Structure 1
Amino acid sequence: MTATVTAAVARTKGAPLTIETLRLDDPRDNEVRVRMVASGVCHTDAIVRDGVYPTPLPAVLGHEGAGVVEAIGAAVTTVQPGDHVVLSAAYCGHCGQCRAGQMAYCENLMAEDFGGRRRDGSTSLTSAEGPVSSHFFGQSSFATYANVVENSVVKVDAEAPLATLAPLGCGLQTGAGAILNELRPEAGSSLVVFGVGAVGSAAIMAAKVAGCTTIIAADLHDSRLELAKVIGATHTVNSGTTDVIAAITEITGGRGVEYALDTTAVPAVLRQAAEALATRGTLALVGAAKPGTEVPFEIGTSLVKGWTFKTIVQGSSVPQVFIPRLVELWEQGRFPFDKLIRTYELDDINTAFADSRNGSAIKPVVVF
């Protein structure tokens, strides 16, 4: 069942992806052959391309895939050929965190999602020059077909458009899950989101679902702030032209916010987010930073605030449970993430990366 596929390959650190023809091997017993319909482009793809995380190159990246099941391995039980699926992060399924239902914090996360190989060391993709790293987040979805580990596969409503659903696999799940699964703000509470790209915009929408009545969006791009108002923000602050702390203090009547979510992983922004908290407030980080990045927090006068800092991975979600819930919210018009999407052809994938970086596209999606 080997196949010829067209894929975007990251060959050199920091270089544009190249469109190539590769060979895809037979799916293993725990794998699902998926015909890819679309794949979101995420910041994590960019930082892996640039060598921040250790996936060996050359590699086929992509971890927000959506497509149709073509075949299943002998041990697969959760999907059948013809099922529509969204693809999410892989997890081992047997470590202590996975067995406790905390798949986002899998103790083998780096190997499962960034290793570029199956557990036996093999790769599903080869080029004329040799092996190409595969199974990025269990999928490597920047290709027309992929052999995907079953733990990465989420069955979804066959009536929902796959090109729209693709970004749910990582970025949107991360932002929405940070609010609904982890922070769980009370109805009537206040929250600020620093950085309203795809992850932050999902958090804004989720905060509205949760019943927050003060939802502040902070970003450098006025166009993103305008959209934030449309999808649920009650207030916006351009952090490049405005004193953010003064603005949040005014909006909250001097109290500060009960919850703050940082999607930027910029140390100066994260410190600002801490300063914006009310007494007993909670600050969460979901942005990916280079290993070794440090943030200096003030712990003198802030000690009496009794505030909390936490990091969140993948929205603390179980993808097979949480993604279908987000699809239902979207179908009800309560999670309008389709407003964030701009589509690109596979040949234009490097433009999609560039548009995401410069802020002109919030959520690029490559459509096959």
Structure 2
Amino acid sequence: MVIGSPRYDAHALRGMAHALFTAAGLEVDKAAAVAEYLVEADLMGHTTHGLALAGWYLQGVADGVVTRSGAPDVTSDRGAAARWDGRRLPGAWLTAQAVTLACDRAVQFGTATVVVANSHHIGCLAAYLSIATDRGYMVSVASSSPSGQQVAPFGGTKGLYTPNPIAYGIPTPGDPILIDISASITTVNMANRLIKAGQTYDHPWLMDKDGTPSQDPQVLKDGGTLLPTGGLDHGQKGYGMALQIEAWTQGLGGYGRVDAPKGTNAAVTVQVHDPAAFGGAEAFLRQTGWLADACHANPPRPGVARVRLPGEAALARKREALERGVALFEGILESLEPHAARLGVPLPTPVA
């Protein structure tokens, strides 16, 4: 976004997105979930994974890549552990349903895991964490895409897997800690944004096809790859993280790269813990509260105003956006104009 960007009412943005996806043919509850979690990402400032994805999703619906209606096939259910075939239903709806079910099951079992194979893209992982943290539960959401190959294994040069993000929600006596990280330094969506703008990265976070570090996202068009988290120096850390997420999502789901799925595809694993089943909810908050306070009290290094917790800036952006309006990244609303015209849905007007 740029300084002075127009702001839009969050409710109006959700209404627009809901109308677009309903008109495109998604069932009402699916359209509502996609609208909710795309706008939630923009509220938190994760602008590459918010409404910036809406046009791509809408095209996927039009092309038949996204399943418009129905429910996942429950292929295994042991109470505390379940596996779904997502049937390429909207990832936002599937993920929200999975987190909600895991929370409900955690009441009985203390912890619950839901694995979703064959989902469509799920967007911003951090957007789903509050479903659990609002109930006082600790949650993780991991995702990989069996049909993508933009990151090379550490020491290699050919793309093998995707950025493989994972997010954690940790309740505290105050705001929750919201961690959203990936096994690669940057993401495909950010690289595509820079390519479109004719810009490069500030640091060499990619490799060209020969393994030479690069700042130019254009190398991805010619066999280049995203560097793993840790880069050329400590990239074995991101590499190990990626392999764990591949096994945790595609491995547990029993459907992944070996099956060579076509089109946009995601594998998702959700896990929820109820602290009351372990050391107790009060004891849990006592520990996480101390940790949060200790981080905040830590002396900042030069150039840093104060030590923040993961997710703190995102929650502050969300509060500001709800009060003043959402400042969408430049070009996002314009990218939806052809879809809005095709589907007969008006775009919202700025509030400021």
TM-score, structure 2 as length reference: 0.30
The structure with the largest helix share of the pair is: 2
Higher relative contact order (CA 8 A, sep 6+): 2
